[in-house]
Amino acid sequence: MGKINIRKILLAFADIFIIVISGIITNFLLSFVGFIGAEASRGLVYYIIIDLIMCLFALFVAGSYSRLWRYFNIKDYLSCGLAVVIGFALGYLVSFILGIPQRKIFILIYFVISLIGILLFRFMFKKAFLNLTEYGRLENCERTLIIGAGNAGRMILTEIENAKYDANSPTRKIIPVCFVDDDRTKLNSKIGGVPVVGTCPEIVKICDDYHIDSIIVAVPSCEEDEKRKILDYCSATECKIKVIPYLSELLFDKENVQLIAQAKEIKIEDLLGRKPIEFDKDEIEKLITGKVCMITGGGGSIGSELVRQIAKYSPKQIIIVDIYENNAYDIQQELVLEYGTNINLVTLISSVRDYEKMEVIFKKYRPQLVFHAAAHKHVPLMETVPEEAVKNNIFGTFNVANLSEFYNADKFVMISTDKAVNPTNVMGATKRACEMIIQYKAQHSSHTEFVTTRFGNVLGSNGSVIPLFRRQIESGSPVTVTHPDIIRYFMTIPEAVSLVLEAGAMAKGGEIFVLDMGAPVKITTLAENLIRMYGKVPYKDVPIVFTGLRPGEKLFEELLMNEEGLKSTENKKIFIGNQISIDEEDMLSKLEQLQEAACNNDSGKTVELLSRLVPTFNHKIN
């Protein structure tokens, strides 16, 4: 009795009503046309009662009162129909045994009307239930376009359907409006009642015509180039965008895979003009495992990622050196939370400009691998105080490089930038001077292998345009771009750090490793895409203001100087720039003069001497 609820009782009363009324209607029709007489009609009440009892019994046994309306499907309708057939057959048998006279035509029509009535009632009730539920669900729902009418798209439809009645599921707010797919054989067809209305190049028009609020990119097996084109189309709309990860990144359980729950917001790096770079983790593991690793600038965006990745390869010890205690503390606590006592971590607040302090550190910890990420990198700020860029970047690097050699570090890896190539700003010129110093050290070191890694702008790093753009968009301010035609090479922080580590593994001494970064990206396009990712319209919802090139800024950056050629490596995306001959005596003499000018805080003299040290330094705005 505990299992009998109001829904079952109502359904049973509905079946009773349908069966009784069907018998009365059948009797009336046959009596009206003269097929049965008064004698047969007198047994009507008994026959209806018997059929009613038998049908209710058969429906109950078949589980017809245990189904939820929302999940009623074709199998349930067939089961229900079979129960009615059995019920009427049992009713006929019992009536025959009791001697209740009925004509076969009455039994047949009575059965047909009852069967149609019972099934039709269930169908109409389900429709009414779903419509009422759907009406209550439509408020604040997202009209969604699904890209990809394949297996992933079908699975998403199933998830959406199953989530409709789960009040706690965020998926229940998704309304699948249409599909797009580049397979033209699927056009104008329907998948689960949802039409395939066009191809990917038509995404912007389709989103406008169908009033789409969000897009789900359900093509987990497509190639990177194809996926990027799709994301370019999507980013030109005002819709929210979610992407189903690649098949290799999807998490499966034993029974199924929930795709929507694993969908990710589109990231700005998804819009880069190249595939993510792959690196040789085995070689990196051989380099790091069991070694004492020092990371200068270990609290910065590049340095902290270096620390994270190095920690994965079981180093003997990690030494974080940084002058800014907040960043150093953050990465320290992050590693402590993740690894606990399983990591040997030392965090030291020190400046690479302080030779004596750095010597104390080297003497105590004897690092075998030194990753030099400490540097002033902000171009306009370094134009204002060039002597500080010189003190920190050039002579900080000189200090750490000399100590690495003196204390027999196995490898020294310096992080450089594409701004060091034909520099037009102080920061770039100081990094080119650092490259020269590292090449000089490589030519004279008997043990330590000195190497430089050079790459372009890093997405999300301190000083990158992306955090600035995000702050401007979120605060409602205009997005500022220096010039409409300015272009840059970009890579992600993990890519940059993996390059540093693999370069360290490859290094034999003196190389400048250069990453093939694909096509450069227009900063204006980057800003427009980022604005669209926030669901806003560039120039309408968020203005883009062009402020003019900053001091020392170029319209485009180069990765190689004219004198440098490229040699390939085992990694097809990593190349080695040829070493450029350096007049060592002349370089050391100019460094001595430059250090004196910087220590005297003579900005003008510092820039003048920096120009003499770095012949390619053209301190002008292009």
> What residues act catalytically?
419
Q: Is 113 left (phi over 0), alpha (psi -120 to 50) or beta?
A: alpha
Q: In DSSP terms, which residues pair with 415 in a beta bridge?
A: 453
- How far is it, in rounded angstroms, from Cα 177 to Cα 182? 17
Q: In DSSP terms, which residues pair with 521 in a beta bridge?
A: 488
Does the CA dihedral 355-359-360-366 come out positive or negative? positive
390: tokens are 């010189």
> Closest Cα to residue 148, out of 188, 198, 192, 193?
198
Q: Give SS3 for 463.
A: coil
Residue 283 has φ and ψ, to the nearest 5°, of -65, -40
The residue count of the chain comes to 622
Q: Give SS3 for 350.
A: coil
Report which DSSP code applies to 172. G
- How far is it, in rounded angstroms, from Cα 437 to Cα 398? 7
Q: Which helix (H) or strand (E) holds 320?
A: strand 317-322
Q: Give SS3 for 124.
A: helix
- How far is it, in rounded angstroms, from Cα 550 to Cα 221? 43
Surface-to-core class of residue 322, CB atoms within 10 Å of its CB (0-12 exposed, 13-18 middle, 19+ buried): buried
**What SS3 string covers 424-445?**
CCHHHHHHHHHHHHHHHHHHHC
411-417: strand order across its sheet: 345-349, 317-322, 292-296, 369-372, 411-417, 449-455, 512-515, 574-577, 566-568
Structural contact between residues 313 and 357, judged by C-beta atoms closer than 8 angstroms? no
Rg, Å, the chain Cα set: 37
Report which DSSP code applies to 352. T
Return the beta strands (E) in 445-589 as ranges. Answer: 449-455, 457-459, 479-481, 487-488, 490-492, 512-515, 521-522, 544-546, 566-568, 574-577
> Closest Cα to residue 606, out of 418, 382, 440?
382
